[in-house]
């Protein structure tokens, strides 16, 4: 199946949603490094008449600390522009009166300060990194298996992601282990969940067919966006692998670098470019 023509991809475009890790930067020690061209691309989108939001499955820091890290790398970005799983999960927990057992990274724990965690009646799992020990996974399993109606929330369901020193297992691997052990299906908060994308679109005031998702993950970024009616583009940075081209999902375009996107005219689509 051939990629859709670029002219079709940008037709009636009013908003852009950007993934972050693997698209804007590669994470790692010291805060990571920007991907060449990405800082300029964000500037040019903001200089155009396109609306812009960022959707990330980042769960190793609070949204505030995460944005501060990106600002330090040189990105023009604010907390209000970023949609991440932990605040969305907190809202769900409060609305449903749930008390979570948390298996998450230590640095994201402050996102859940306001929720009651005594006598847990659900489990929330995120990218816990070194906290994914056998003991911690087994503790989460015991909470779930002891509930009459076990509820598991997963902050994203990625298989792996890229850091500066190589690929890392993501939360989806451990989510699947708990699903299998407890014979349940997790509720995914974050990409590729439809409501996660739609919340960003609603914040921009644009319809799905008027928006373009740009990401490095064929399933969670491209597939999730296409499932809710958005156009989607997969960059050949971050976790991109050539074997992805053999999968069922077909992105509208697969440029390699942000420099290619700028040349293609994606950024601003010819509207008020700086």
pLDDT tens digits along 156-178:
999 998 888 888 999 999 999 99
Based on the domain organization, do 102 and 178 belong to the same domain? Answer: yes
The domain in which residue 71 lies consists of 14-84+191-264
Based on the domain organization, do 105 and 127 belong to the same domain? Answer: yes
Q: Is 4 part of any domain? A: no
Of 137, 157, 189, which residue constitutes the final position of a domain? Answer: 189
Looking at residue 7, its pLDDT comes to 53
Based on the domain organization, do 39 and 164 belong to the same domain? Answer: no
Q: What is the DSSP string of 149-171?
A: S--EEEE---SEEEETTEEEE-H
Looking at residue 27, its pLDDT comes to 85
Of 150, 168, 189, which residue constitutes the final position of a domain? Answer: 189
Q: Is 6 part of any domain? A: no
Based on the domain organization, do 198 and 171 belong to the same domain? Answer: no
CATH number of domain containing 67 = 3.40.50.1000
Q: Which residues pair with 143 in a beta bridge?
A: none
Looking at residue 248, its pLDDT comes to 44
Based on the domain organization, do 74 and 97 belong to the same domain? Answer: no
Share of the chain above pLDDT 70, in %: 83
Count CA atoms within 13 Å of residue 261 on its CB side.
35
Smallest CA-to-CA distance from 24 within 141, 161, 137 is with 161
pLDDT tens digits along 146-157:
999 999 999 999
Looking at residue 188, its pLDDT comes to 97
Smallest CA-to-CA distance from 82 within 57, 106, 108 is with 57
- How far apart, in whole angstroms, are the C-alpha atoms of residue 198 and residue 262? 26
Based on the domain organization, do 103 and 176 belong to the same domain? Answer: yes
Q: Is 269 part of any domain? A: no
Q: Is 232 part of any domain? A: yes
Of 189, 213, 228, which residue constitutes the final position of a domain? Answer: 189
Residue ranges of E strands in 56-137: 82-83, 100-103, 122-125
Based on the domain organization, do 179 and 196 belong to the same domain? Answer: no
Based on the domain organization, do 28 and 42 belong to the same domain? Answer: yes
pLDDT tens digits along 172-219:
999 999 999 999 999 999 999 999 999 999 999 999 999 999 998 888
Q: Is 207 part of any domain? A: yes
Based on the domain organization, do 77 and 197 belong to the same domain? Answer: yes
Q: Is 9 part of any domain? A: no
Task: Read off the pLDDT band of 240 (50, 70, 90).
Answer: low
Q: Is 273 part of any domain? A: no
Strands 160-163 and 166-169, how do they pair? Answer: antiparallel
Does residue 96 carry a pLDDT above 90?
yes
Based on the domain organization, do 80 and 203 belong to the same domain? Answer: yes
Average pLDDT, the chain: 87
Based on the domain organization, do 177 and 218 belong to the same domain? Answer: no
The number of domains in the chain is 2
Q: Is 8 part of any domain? A: no
């Amino acid at each position: 199946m051939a990629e859709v023509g670029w002219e079709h991809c940008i037709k009636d475009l009013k908003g852009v949603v950007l993934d972050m890790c693997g698209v804007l930067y590669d994470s790692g020690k010291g805060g990571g490094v920007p991907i060449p061209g990405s800082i300029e691309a964000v500037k040019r989108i903001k200089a155009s008449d396109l609306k812009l939001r960022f959707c990330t499955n980042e769960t190793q820091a609070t949204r505030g600390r995460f944005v501060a890290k990106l600002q330090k790398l040189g990105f023009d970005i604010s907390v209000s522009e970023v949609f991440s799983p932990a605040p969305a999960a907190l809202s769900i927990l409060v609305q449903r009166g749930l008390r979570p057992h948390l298996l998450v990274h230590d640095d994201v724990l402050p996102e859940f300060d306001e929720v009651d965690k005594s006598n847990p009646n659900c489990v929330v799992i995120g990218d816990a990194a070194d906290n994914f020990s056998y003991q911690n996974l087994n503790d989460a399993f015991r909470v779930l298996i002891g509930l009459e109606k076990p509820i598991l929330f997963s902050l994203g369901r990625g298989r792996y992601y890229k850091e500066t020193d190589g690929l890392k297992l993501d939360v989806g691997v451990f989510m699947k282990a708990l699903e299998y052990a407890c014979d349940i299906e997790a509720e995914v908060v974050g990409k590729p969940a439809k409501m996660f994308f739609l919340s960003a679109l609603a914040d921009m005031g644009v319809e799905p067919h008027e928006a373009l998702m740009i990401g490095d993950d064929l399933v969670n970024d491209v597939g999730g966006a296409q499932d809710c009616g958005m156009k989607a583009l997969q960059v050949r940075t971050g976790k991109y692998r050539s074997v992805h081209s053999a999968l069922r999902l077909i992105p509208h375009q697969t440029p390699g670098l942000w420099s290619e996107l700028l040349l293609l005219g994606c950024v601003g689509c010819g509207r008020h470019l700086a």
